[in-house]
Homo-oligomer: A and B are copies of this chain.
Amino acid sequence: MATATNTAPSSITFETSPQHYHHWKLDFDGPIATLSMDVQEDAGLSPDYRLKLNSYDLGVDIELADAIQRLRFEHPEIHAVVITSLKERIFCAGANIFMLRGSSHALKVNFCKFTNETRLAIEDASQNSGLKFLAALNGICAGGGYELALACDEIYLVDDGNSAVSLPETPLLGVLPGTGGLTRVVDKRRVRRDLADFFGTTAEGIRGKRAVEWRLVDAVYPTSQFKDRVAKRAQELAAQSDRASAGQGITLGPLNPQVSDDGIAYSAVRVEIDRDKRVATLTVRGPEGEQPSTPDAIIAAGDEYWPLRAFRELDDALLRLRLNEPAIGTVVVKTAGDASAVLGVDDTLLAHQGHWLVREILHFMKRTLKRMDLTSRSFFAVIEPGSCFAGSLLELALAADRSYMLNDPDQPNTIALSGINGGPLPMSNGLTRLHTRFLGDPERVNGLLTEEEPFEADQALEAGLVSFAPDELDWEDEVRLAVESRAAFSPDALTGMEANLRFAGPETMETKIFGRLTAWQNWIFIRPNAVGEHGALTAYGTQKRPEFDFNRT
């Protein structure tokens, strides 16, 4: 009855480091870093397109994400970041159209999701790490280029009579500025909606004084003053940072996973893939051996410190599943190890959350769990004896669409909460997963958080912390049937259902980007008016003009 791609598609990897960058240059000057875009035309992820005019593909954005991440962990001395371009008269032309046109629907969607996460990571660094970002637009800034600028705290545009900011997606390509552009224009920069409407339908964009009056940029400066004004403002921003001017950072070394056709093995994370069933089993192992308990010891452990290591591996595994394993619809989430060791690490993190590195680790764990919330696969947590769903690792079960916990009196099996479930790892709706889970009974959250004892299966069920707790007679069948029946449903309907059920409660700019904006963009990305034979995305850059079915939907 059903068809599936049974082969592993070509693999994309997400690790890089500055010495391997093709497209960005990272310079340091005291508390200021400058991240300069200089896209190498012939170094795209695919040879099918050339990355002209500082246009980008996923590979360019992977480097950007890596740079932001390293600034946080490796460079605590940096307090402000200038994002600019090394090309003459061009800042960035946005996502490469020919790349988009040649991408499958799923790749388009996942490309946008990753670039959105990267821009949100910039805002997260500004909000939570005292790293202020300044977009220095030294030339034309179009589409995704302007969306990158919108993610920065301040935007400065050169006033050379030519350089403009623009969102030409709608008029030129028949799609949306889907990397947060529409949302940030009206919700972050608070551009008036009628001006935003004009801006979003004017391919040539807006420049000069009008760009300032409409709030699209913070200021324009003549070419002769541009560098100095930007440098001065970067110094001012750096001076406002709350980053401790700590000494040296830690180094984020390579993860070196073992990748085979049926899985990926990291040090603390393992992914096993069953292609016939379209199921992956993702297992996170808890910490082993003695763990550092002071900031100095954590710095000494560096990227080998368990929570950083395990969540970096988890992050990498999620990205590989998204991009490289589209046919794997369900992920069974397991943990293995000593729950008290996880809780011990949580205690250390909480005790030192004011320390710059601990702060970075916690925010990174938060971002990784958000990545899980936004991954369009069904997650079922399976809680068995020998697991360690406690504190920070319990978040994996709370992030899952469902959880199953074995209830067998003969085999001890518990879950446990820690203070880390009560605040430091909020979802993109601004609430913890516990608060989101118990929107209907907010009092319960405080009660649960004061519970010091672990929960047996029947207690966990009663407390609402797990979905189901079958006994040993039903366990295997119930879990197997749940996973099997999930695999038979329409993957699109599941994606839509999960995207709605996972984000109860308040909407934030972040959830608006992933909910409202992304959902509309996904719709448009499969409409004939964009991607059909005569669609605008298909016609762009050819001799043909687009032909539309003008009926409104």
Contacts and interface: CB of A to CB of B under 8 A. Distances in A.
Interface of A: 1-5, 105-106, 109-110, 169-171, 173-176, 182-183, 185-187, 189-198, 200-201, 215, 278, 326-329, 376-377, 400-403, 436-441, 464, 467, 485-487, 489-507, 511-512, 515-517, 519-524, 526-527, 529-530, 535-536, 545-553
Contact of A552 (B195, B329, B438, B549): B329
A195 B489 contact: no
Contact of A326 (B109, B328, B486, B551): B551
**Protomer copies:** 2
B170 A494 contact: yes
B485 A201 contact: yes
Nearest to A485: B201
Given A550-B2, A550-B5, A530 B493 contact: yes
8 contacts: A169-B493, A183-B500, A196-B501, A329-B552, A487-B550, A496-B521, A500-B516, A516-B516
A200 B527 contact: no
Given A329-B552, A402-B197, A174 B492 contact: yes
B529 A492 contact: yes
A547 B517 CA distance: 29
Contact of A504 (B190, B440, B501): B190
A27 to B, nearest CB: 34
A192 B502 CA distance: 10
Nearest to A499: B520
A171 B182 CA distance: 34
Contacts of A441: 190
Contact of A3 (B329, B550, B553): B550
Contacts of A110: 553
Contact of A440 (B192, B278, B520): B192
A377 B552 contact: yes
Nearest to A544: B1
Contact of A527 (B171, B437, B438, B526): B526
B548 A2 contact: yes
A496 B193 CA distance: 14
A176 B169 CA distance: 28
Given A440-B189, A552-B377, A496 B467 contact: no
Contacts of A548: 2-4, 490-491
A327 B550 contact: yes
A197 B501 contact: yes
A539 to B, nearest CB: 10
Contacts of A326: 551-553
Given A2-B548, A464-B192, A523 B515 contact: no
Given A327-B550, A489-B174, A492-B174, A192 B438 contact: yes
B501 A182 contact: yes
